[in-house]
Amino acid sequence: QVIKCKAAIMWEANKPFSIEEVEVAPPKAHEVRIKIVATGICRSDDHVITGGMVMPFPIILGHEAAGVVESVGQGVTSIKPGDTVMPLFVPQCGECSNCLSTKGNLCSKNEFASRAGLMPDGTSRFTCKGKAVHHFLGTSTFTEYTVVDESAAAKIDSAAPLEKVCLIGCGFSTGYGAAVQTAKVEPGSTCAIFGIGGVGLSVVMGCKAAGASRIIAVDINSDKFAKAKELGATDCVNPKDFEKPIHEVLIEMTGHGVDYSFEVIGRTETMVAALACCQYNYGVSVIVGVPPAAQKITFDPMLIFSGRTWKGSVFGGWKSKDSVPKLVADYMKKKFVLDPLITHTLPFTKINEGFDLLRTGK
């Protein structure tokens, strides 16, 4: 059965979302149709609107959500109708080299490389006003119903509060995992986090959970500092308060640079600054923010030659289908908090207001 429902469509770049009635086709073989209960707003969605991340329009954005399975296609074995699930913007097929490796998590079925905005078979499950609408990162959660590949859905505890655990679908896992999985922060180490929005705050929590002795939060919006301190930051630094480059400030504060730095903004200048502020011989810097399209980085190769490690981290290095149910279980056991990451809860029809709040740093 085709389902008619509401969705927030982005018809073209730099315009508001338009709430429209869409038709959502039934799931094909190895696909799952999900009723979305709660979805978060992430800066990566906004990057598509502003052109920082290039995707085809029209498109249904959203990639951080939780819901209930409405129906499944032929051959689906891991999930059944009625199951509580989280869509996964990084799938886990279990068969490609990245899925089979203990070192990798970016399944080759991911949409980051092609950015075609289609299901694995090259077609869309959404239509609006007779026009096909593109998917986003294999998830598309700004709609009452969506269709995802079986490899892009994880079954989770049905008792979990979906309006909170939906953050495990992107923001929390991405930040927390960057610290504990990708960087493998050690007890007693020093860390600097550039950008303390929802993902940056999750990095702060990860550094604290890993036992870091000093956690320096760096942001040009000082309104964010109180929450960063509440979640474990020991120092907060606003680059606007200094004449000198921020990496020099951090090196002075720590004596030799930090052991671990994290760029959680998605700006090339801050990526280089984060690299430069970590210890010159054994410091590790992790890029967590999505890099802007068509921009290149120029940096002094001595920064790397002296021994630093520069890494990237997608979805916190977690193998999605295996890890998401465990992270939800950890949340239910109160191993970490999510409430401080939630500033506002809005009805779906106010999605444009939600993006305004994101853009104004609120």
Of 136-150, 177-191, 205-219, 287-301, give the lowest mean pLDDT range. Answer: 287-301
CA distances from 221 to 40, 240, 359 (A): 21, 9, 12
Question: Is pLDDT at 324 greater than 90 in this prediction?
Answer: yes
Q: Is the N-terminal amide bond of 58 cis, ω within 30° of 0?
A: yes
Domains of the chain: 3-171+317-360 (3.90.180.10), 183-312 (3.40.50.720)
Q: What is the pLDDT of residues 4-20, one digit of tens each?
A: 999 999 999 999 999 99
Q: Are 65 and 141 in contact (CB under 8 A)?
A: yes
Nearby residues of 141 by Cβ (< 8 Å), 6 or more positions away: 36, 39, 62, 63, 64, 65, 67, 87, 169
pLDDT band at 112 (very low <50, low <70, confident <90, very high): confident
Name all contacts of 324-328 with Cβ < 8 Å and 24+ positions apart.
324/86, 324/88, 324/154, 324/156, 324/168, 324/169, 324/173, 325/154, 325/155, 325/156, 325/157, 327/168, 327/172, 327/173, 328/86, 328/156, 328/157, 328/160, 328/165, 328/168
170 annotated active-site? yes
Mean pLDDT in residue range 128-156: 97
Q: What is the pLDDT of residues 187-207, one digit of tens each?
A: 999 999 999 999 999 999 999
Active-site residue identified among 93, 99, 107, 170:
170
63 annotated active-site? yes
DSSP-derived pairing of the beta strands 214-218 and 190-194: parallel
pLDDT value, residue 25: 98
202 annotated active-site? no
44 annotated active-site? yes
Q: Are 71 and 83 in contact (CB under 8 A)?
A: no
Alpha carbon distance 25, 32 (integer Å): 11
For residue 102, the one-letter residue type is T
pLDDT value, residue 225: 98
pLDDT value, residue 113: 80
pLDDT value, residue 293: 85
Mean pLDDT in residue range 129-134: 97
Q: What is the pLDDT of residues 231-265, one digit of tens each?
A: 999 999 999 999 999 999 999 999 999 999 999 99
Active-site residue identified among 5, 47, 101, 213:
47
